[in-house]
């Protein structure tokens, strides 16, 4: 297991003077140290060094790698799963500290808790105590400060005294009111509660992250935390987060005198509170609540890790007060961890839509929390090696081998995963797992790409087979026929799946011989008559002549979206020129690479992807077959005399005068670059009704904002 090093050690030898041996040793040590800091900062909420100290370590690490590039191997920190979000939010001191709760595990602990309260308040045995019983949401606690009804600050809990200012990000959450509803509001109100992500949204987000080769989150809590810790609020805005209000900090006048009254008041103010919250008046009722919620747990859309009981009367809460950092008037009654021990009997590699190779652990079936588990996610290569820093909760430094005895856990009731490997039980014959470097479906090379910006290796290994990989073929065909590529009417997702299943469509070129080879069979298919078949083939024929940028986009080269395709098309002008250049790039021809690099929108990432694609012989053959079927039209020369040529434009809000696709096409035809996000480099933001965060970003950067009419005037 990796040692935890909490102290920063700075080596004084300048990087230029390090011997190879020193560099190796220091690189390894720094890597461990930084990984430890990352973990404490991002996952444990407990950084042990200042941001400046951290940056210093990181700088030296990068400098060593820059001098000895071959250190960027599998063990390099650059290989860590995904990119870490930016560090350094402003600190906020909580007006009232944010404390934590004492835990109860057994029913007797609850009996003791109620007994303590009774004794402390000197209540008679028959004096009822009312409790608000609430689910304990497994998210991130947040303190929202409202002054005169307006949200002014949102802060994380941090160490309880001081948290991080995440106001800009919190403003993107719909369930957090910007303004409190109601009249006669206390001038200062701090509402506290939990930010969370639903299980369904967590799974969807991870799916997207996986496709993008980005950070995979271990559970909904981590993904909510990661989403909130974004430096760019538009990223947080794209992540579906919810908020339950359940407590308060500073309030200038109390609007209620019970916990339940406060919860009602939060609802009046416009907050969501948890619908399962219930009043309980005895130990029996509390325990029954715990049992009932425990039964509902796996069916809930969000993670909970227990229930919380709170004395309802706030005057009693005041009298009971706190013992060190936890209140005497509340307790968390936890649910038992859902874990089990079993054997890993194999590792399957699944190939996803973009060719991502995902390892799935095969288990000796075992019951965990009421379900039989046979598969376990192993995330990616680094996780199996035990170096996936974000591959929590596996213990750092533990690799996973077939034959291992593993402790598994159902993280947030959702995906089972490995928590630990029982090393004592590791069979002598168990060897470190060798992750395949060839696609198990098609045999093409499977590679890990470098992220050009961070220099890190993608967490995901991908099959470079493209169209020739069965697993990817269908999805690629869908892309190929889609509106922005070949735009073939009547060849939608369903039809592609059907035709692929029938064996009529294996690769794009097959689309153009469909009529000749399969017309008869198609007519026999249910739902196909003379007219629909004629229409389909007419739609296909209409695309036998096609613009170069559409062809390039339709090839399905990774990282080559429409904009990049357009740039390549404009840069090379003709299919022949593009094709020749791509082949040279794939062979590593320096001049060809430099030429491609010089094009707008193109950098290392695209060049690497083009290389992978055109290196693969089977891709080349499929491309040859395709271009025999179609006439690729030369690219339109961009207009350079328009007022917006060379400018960067962002469209936002719901546009009323034109569709977004239309706006984009027009802008690009006039030589402008259309971007999805606003930065200092943006020249114009064209805002329709309902424009939100991008508009705010534009104002921040002093970017010219145009209405739709003003834009039309500019380009007319
Ligand atoms: S009350 C003074 N109520 O649990 C205690 N906390 O271990 C105020 N939590 O940091 C917290 N659901 O993040 C309270 N219904 C609930 C909760 C809840 C989740 C979390 C919260 C807190 C932690 C305490």
Domain residue spans of the chain: 15-80+337-457, 91-334, 547-633, 648-715
- Residue 663 pLDDT class (50, 70, 90 cuts): confident
**What per-residue confidence (pLDDT) applies to 388?**
62
Which of 332, 334, 412 has most ligand 1 atoms within 8 Å of CB, for mutation?
332
Closest-CA residue, ligand 1 atom 23, reads 100
What is the number of the ligand 1 atom nearest to the C-alpha of 141?
13
- DSSP tag of 162: E
* Residue whose tokens read 């934590």: 100
How far does residue 676's CA lie from ligand 1's centre (Å)?
A: 38
Q: Dihedral through CA 34, CA 36, CA 40, CA 43, nearest 10?
A: 100
Give the number of the atom of ligand 1 that is nearest the alpha carbon of residue 247. 1
Interhelix angle 107-121/283-296, rounded to 10 degrees, is 140
Is the pLDDT assigned to residue 576 strictly greater than 80? yes
Q: d(Cα 419, Cα 251) in Å, to the nearest integer?
A: 42
CA 456 to chain centre: 17
Indicate which atom in ligand 1 lies nearest the CA of residue 103.
7
Residue 87 pLDDT class (50, 70, 90 cuts): low
**Segment 90-108, tens digit of pLDDT:** 889 999 999 899 999 899 9
Q: Whole-prediction pTM value?
A: 0.50
- Cα separation of 555 and 508, whole Å? 9
**Residue of 136, 159, 311 to test ligand 1 pocket, by largest number of atoms within 8 Å of CB:** 136
Question: Which stretches does DSSP call E strand in 383-485?
Answer: 405-411, 415-421, 446-450, 457-463
Class of domain 15-80+337-457: mainly beta
Mean pLDDT of 493-517: 93
Strands 415-421 and 140-147: unpaired
CA of 557 to the centre of ligand 1 (A): 47
Q: How far is the CA of 142 from the centre of ligand 1 (A)?
A: 10
**Ligand 1 pocket, 293 CB below 6 A?**
no
Which mutation among 141, 278, 280 tests ligand 1's pocket best, with the greatest number of atoms within 8 A of CB? 141
pLDDT digits (tens, 9 = 90+) for 381-396: 988 988 764 445 566 6
Which residues neighbour 707 within 8 Å (Cβ) at sequence distance 6 or greater?
686, 687
Report the nearest-CA residue for atom 11 of ligand 1.
100
Which residues does 513 contact at the CB level (< 8 Å), separation at least 6? 629
Indicate if ligand 1 lies below 6 Å from the C-beta of 332: yes
Which of the listed residues 133, 245, 246 should we mutate to test ligand 1's pocket, taking the one with most ligand atoms within 8 A of CB?
Answer: 246
Distance in Å, CA 658 to ligand 1 centroid: 48
Closest CA to 512 of 473, 480, 549, 484: 480
141 lines ligand 1 (CB under 6 A): yes
The predicted pLDDT at position 475 comes to 83
Pocket flag, ligand 1, residue 276 (CB < 6 Å): no
Strands 330-334 and 103-104, sheet pairing: parallel
Cα 47 to averaged position of ligand 1 atoms, centre (Å)? 22
CB distance 245 to ligand 1 below 6 Å = no
| Closest residue to atom 22 of ligand 1, CA basis | 100
Give me the residue label for tokens 């028959």: 126
Task: Return the top range by mean pLDDT from 274-283, 290-299, 583-592, 683-692.
Answer: 274-283
- Given a contact cutoff of 8 angstroms between Cβ atoms, the answer to whether 119 and 291 are in contact is no
CA 439 to ligand 1 centroid distance, Å? 46
The answer, yes or no, to whether any atom of ligand 1 lies below 6 A from the CB of 94, is: no
Our answer on whether the CB atom of 224 is closer than 6 Å to any ligand 1 atom is no
Catalytic-labelled residue, pool 136, 615, 673, 694: 136
Q: How confident is the model at residue 7 (pLDDT cuts 50, 70, 90)?
A: very low
Would you say domain 91-334 falls under CATH 3.30.470.30? yes
Nearest CA to ligand 1 atom 12: 136
- The reported pLDDT for the residue numbered 353 is 65
Whole-number Å distance between alpha carbons of 235 and 86: 12
pLDDT in tens, 332-375: 999 876 788 999 999 999 887 678 899 999 999 887 765 678 89
Rounded CA separation 152/165 (Å): 10
CA of 236 to the centre of ligand 1 (A): 23
Work out the percent of the chain whose per-residue pLDDT is above 90.
50
pLDDT, tens only, 246-281: 999 999 999 999 999 999 999 999 999 999 999 999
Name the DSSP letter for residue 148. Answer: T
Ligand 1 mean position, distance from CA 100 (Å): 6
Ligand 1 touching residue 134 (CB < 6 A): yes
Answer whether residue 451 shows pLDDT above 70.
no
Measured in angstroms, how far is the CA atom of residue 77 from the centroid of ligand 1?
A: 35
Residue 392 Cβ inside 6 Å of ligand 1? The answer reads no
Give the pLDDT confidence score for residue 370 in this predicted structure: 59
Report the pLDDT value the prediction gives residue 637, as an integer from 0 to 100.
67
In ligand 1, which atom is closest to the CA atom of 277? Answer: 15
151 lines ligand 1 (CB under 6 A): no
Burial 449-458 (b: 16+ CB within 10 A, else e): bbbeeebbbb
CATH number of 547-633: 1.10.150.20
Clarify whether 181 is annotated catalytic: no
225 in contact with ligand 1, CB cutoff 6 A? no
Cβ 99 under 6 angstroms from ligand 1: yes
Tell me the mean pLDDT in the region 642-656. 86
Picking from 206, 474, 477, 205, the residue whose alpha carbon sits closest to that of residue 358 is 206
Q: Are 452 and 478 in contact (CB under 8 A)?
A: no
Interhelix angle for 20-38 vs 51-67, to 10°? 140
Split at pLDDT 50, 70, 90, the class of 446 is very high
Tokens at 633, concatenated = 């039209």
Cβ of 194 closer than 6 Å to ligand 1, yes or no, is yes
Whether ligand 1 lies within 6 angstroms of the CB of 247 is answered as yes
Average pLDDT (29-33) is 85
For residue 220, the CA-to-ligand 1 centroid distance in Å is 17
Write the residue with the smallest CA distance to atom 21 of ligand 1.
Answer: 141
Q: By alpha-carbon position, which residue is closest to atom 16 of ligand 1?
A: 136
Q: What is the CATH number of domain 648-715?
A: 3.40.50.10190
- The answer to whether the CB of 304 is under 6 A from ligand 1 is no
User: Residue 711 pLDDT more than 60?
Assistant: yes
Q: Which residues, including other chains, have CB under 8 Å from residue 580's CB and lie 6 or more apart?
A: none
User: How many angstroms separate the alpha carbon of residue 39 from the centre of ligand 1?
Assistant: 23
Contact 93, 242 (CB under 8 A): no
- Of 104, 194, 289, the residue with max ligand 1 atoms within 8 A of its CB, to mutate for a pocket test, comes to 194
Distance of CA 280 from the midpoint of ligand 1 (Å): 18
307 has pLDDT over 80: yes
Measured from the CB, is residue 246 less than 6 Å from ligand 1? yes
């Amino acid at each position: 297991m990796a040692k935890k090093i909490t102290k920063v050690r700075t080596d004084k030898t300048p990087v230029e003077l390090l011997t190879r041996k020193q560099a190796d040793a220091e690189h390894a040590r720094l890597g461990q140290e930084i990984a430890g800091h990352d973990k404490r900062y991002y996952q444990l909420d407990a950084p042990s060094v200042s941001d400046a100290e951290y940056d210093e370590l990181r700088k030296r690490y990068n400098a060593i790698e820059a001098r000895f590039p071959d250190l960027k191997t599998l063990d390099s920190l650059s290989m860590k799963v995904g990119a870490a979000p930016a560090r350094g939010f402003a600190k906020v001191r909580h007006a009232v500290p944010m404390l934590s709760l004492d835990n109860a595990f057994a029913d007797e602990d609850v009996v003791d808790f109620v007994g303590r309260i009774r004794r402390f308040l000197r209540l008679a045995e028959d004096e009822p105590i009312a409790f608000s019983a609430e689910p304990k949401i497994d998210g991130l606690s947040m303190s929202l400060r409202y002054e005169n009804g307006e949200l002014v600050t949102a802060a994380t809990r941090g160490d309880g005294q001081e948290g991080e200012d995440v106001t800009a990000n919190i403003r993107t959450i719909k369930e957090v009111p910007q303004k409190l509803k109601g009249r006669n509001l206390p001038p200062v109100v701090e509402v506290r509660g939990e930010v969370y992500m639903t299980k369904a949204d967590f799974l969807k987000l991870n799916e997207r992250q996986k496709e993008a080769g980005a950070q995979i989150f271990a559970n909904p809590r981590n993904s909510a935390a990661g989403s909130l810790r974004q430096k760019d609020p538009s990223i947080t805005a794209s992540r579906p987060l919810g908020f339950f209000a359940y407590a308060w900090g500073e309030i200038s006048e109390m609007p209620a005198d019970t916990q339940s009254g406060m919860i009602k008041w939060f609802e009046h103010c416009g907050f969501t509170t948890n619908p399962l919250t219930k009043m309980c008046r005895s130990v029996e009722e509390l325990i029954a609540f715990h049992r009932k919620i425990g039964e509902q747990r796996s069916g809930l859309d969000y993670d909970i890790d227990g229930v919380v009981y709170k004395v309802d009367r706030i005057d009693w809460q005041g009298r009971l007060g706190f013992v060190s950092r936890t209140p005497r008037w509340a307790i968390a009654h936890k649910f038992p961890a859902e874990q089990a021990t079993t054997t890993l009997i194999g590792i399957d590699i699944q190939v996803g839509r973009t060719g991502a190779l995902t390892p799935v652990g095969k288990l000796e079936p075992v019951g965990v929390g009421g379900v039989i588990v046979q598969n376990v996610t192993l995330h990616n290569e680094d996780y199996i090696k035990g170096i996936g820093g974000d591959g929590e909760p596996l213990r750092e430094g533990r690799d996973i081998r077939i034959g291992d005895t593993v402790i598994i856990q159902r993280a947030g009731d959702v995906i089972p995963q490995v928590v630990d490997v029982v090393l004592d039980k590791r069979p002598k014959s168990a060897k470190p797992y060798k992750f395949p470097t060839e696609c198990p479906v098609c045999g093409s090379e499977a590679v890990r790409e470098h992220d050009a910006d961070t220099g890190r290796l993608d967490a995901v290994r991908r099959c470079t087979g493209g169209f020739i990989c069965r697993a990817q073929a269908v999805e690629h065909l869908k892309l190929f026929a889609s509106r922005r590529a070949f735009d073939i009417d009547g060849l939608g997702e369903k039809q592609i799946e059907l035709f692929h299943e029938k064996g009529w469509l294996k690769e794009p070129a097959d689309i153009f011989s469909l009529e000749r080879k399969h017309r008869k069979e198609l007519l026999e298919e249910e739902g196909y008559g003379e007219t629909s078949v004629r229409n389909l083939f007419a739609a296909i024929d209409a695309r036998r002549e096609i613009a170069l940028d559409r062809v390039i986009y339709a090839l399905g080269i990774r990282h080559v979206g429409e904009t990049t395709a357009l740039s390549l098309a404009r840069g090379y002008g003709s299919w022949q020129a593009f094709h020749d250049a791509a082949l040279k790039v794939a062979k590593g021809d320096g001049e060809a690479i430099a030429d491609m690099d010089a094009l707008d929108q193109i950098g290392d990432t695209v060049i690497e992807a083009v290389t992978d694609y055109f290196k693969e012989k089977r891709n080349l053959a499929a491309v040859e077959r395709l271009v025999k079927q179609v006439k690729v039209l030369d690219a339109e020369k961009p207009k350079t005399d328009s007022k917006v040529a060379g400018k960067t434009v962002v469209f936002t809000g719901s546009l009323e005068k034109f569709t977004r696709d239309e706006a984009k096409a027009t802008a690009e035809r006039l030589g402008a670059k259309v971007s999805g996000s606003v930065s200092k480099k943006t020249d114009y933001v064209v805002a329709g009704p309902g424009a939100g965060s991008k508009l705010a970003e534009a104002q921040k950067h002093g970017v010219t904002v145009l209405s739709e009419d003003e834009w039309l005037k500019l380009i007319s």
